[in-house]
């Protein structure tokens, strides 16, 4: 029997792959990859490996999840080293639970190789934290489908705790998301950040607030939407930090002398 690796390809930049991921890609026999995996990452696969695009696209259901599960089992049963390569991290919105269940039923050995998820990459590129000791102490990962489909009452559970909302795949739904989060109690001036193609050469950052989100034109995909006080513009954050330092200057200088 072979082995399957459920592997995270990260947000796009090949330098953000783990050392372990690179080593396994260079020895894999078969790689089943998503559409969002960057070509520079696929270039790391050894030349004679079988590359299969199993990415799901909006409106295109030619490859069902059950078919992907069966391919993983069949290739591994022929003693192949199989990589299921997913954008970001395989355990966040990657349908890994279904694939793991299929392999457990078939008695196939598998291992999970984590990757950097899109929300973490997006916040790093924008130089904003997802949590803050003086602000949100938690992060909620949602897909746009969940953010809209679950309704204001469900979203209210997260906004009540002043969590940072990291919403995946928001494109085409910004207006609906804005209405939902305002109905759930978020103020219209709550900062928002959209990062399109995080870590890639064509990356773009868009700053707005919940009120302006309703009128946002659609940035290129893939994109991540971050909502919360941490999503302020960098100049606003610098001003806030300067004000904090000025207000606490005596205390800071005293602590420095003691050190």
Structure tokens that stand for 71 in this block: 């391919």
Spatial distance between the Cα atoms of 254 and 259, rounded to a whole number of angstroms:
9
Catalytic site includes residue 56: yes
Residue 15 DSSP label:
G
Q: Identify the active-site residue in 3, 29, 56, 132.
A: 56
Burial 53-88 (b: 16+ CB within 10 A, else e): ebebeeeeeebeeeebbebbbebbeeebbbbbbbbb
Burial 164-201 (b: 16+ CB within 10 A, else e): bbbbbbbbebbebbbebbbebebeeebbbbbbbbbbbe
Catalytic site includes residue 34: yes
Query: 3-state class of 58 per DSSP?
Result: coil
Q: Identify the active-site residue in 34, 38, 86, 89.
A: 34
Spatial distance between the Cα atoms of 117 and 141, rounded to a whole number of angstroms:
10
The neighbour count for residue 231, using CB atoms within 10 Å, is: 27
Dihedral (C-alpha) 80, 83, 84, 89: value to the nearest 10 degrees? 150
Q: Are 229 and 135 in contact (CB under 8 A)?
A: yes
Structure tokens that stand for 7 in this block: 């592997």
Position of tokens 């897909």?
A: 143
Active site residues: 34, 56
């Amino acid at each position: 029997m072979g082995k399957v690796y459920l592997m995270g390809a990260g947000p796009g930049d090949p330098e953000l792959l783990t050392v372990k991921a690179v080593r396994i890609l260079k020895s894999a026999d078969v790689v089943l990859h998503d559409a969002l995996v960057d070509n520079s990452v696929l270039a790391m696969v050894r030349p004679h490996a079988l590359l299969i695009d199993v990415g799901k696209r909006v409106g295109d259901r030619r490859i069902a999840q059950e078919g992907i599960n069966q391919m993983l089992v069949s290739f591994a049963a022929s003693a192949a080293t199989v990589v299921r390569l997913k954008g970001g991290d395989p355990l966040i919105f990657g349908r890994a639970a279904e694939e793991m269940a299929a392999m457990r039923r078939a008695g196939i050995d598998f291992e999970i190789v984590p990757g950097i998820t899109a929300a973490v990459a997006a916040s790093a590129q924008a130089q904003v934290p997802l949590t803050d000791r003086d602000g949100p102490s938690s992060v909620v990962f949602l897909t746009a489908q969940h953010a809209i489909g679950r309704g204001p009452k469900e979203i209210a559970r997260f906004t009540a705790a002043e969590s940072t909302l990291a919403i995946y795949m928001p494109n085409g739904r910004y207006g609906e998301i804005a209405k939902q989060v305002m109905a759930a109690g978020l103020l219209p001036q709550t900062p928002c950040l959209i990062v399109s193609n995080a870590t890639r050469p064509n990356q773009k950052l868009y700053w707005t607030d919940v009120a302006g989100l309703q009128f946002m034109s659609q940035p290129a995909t893939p994109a991540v939407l971050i909502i919360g006080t941490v999503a302020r513009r960098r100049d606003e954050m610098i001003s806030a930090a300067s004000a904090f330092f000025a207000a606490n200057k005596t205390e800071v200088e005293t602590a420095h002398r003691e050190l």
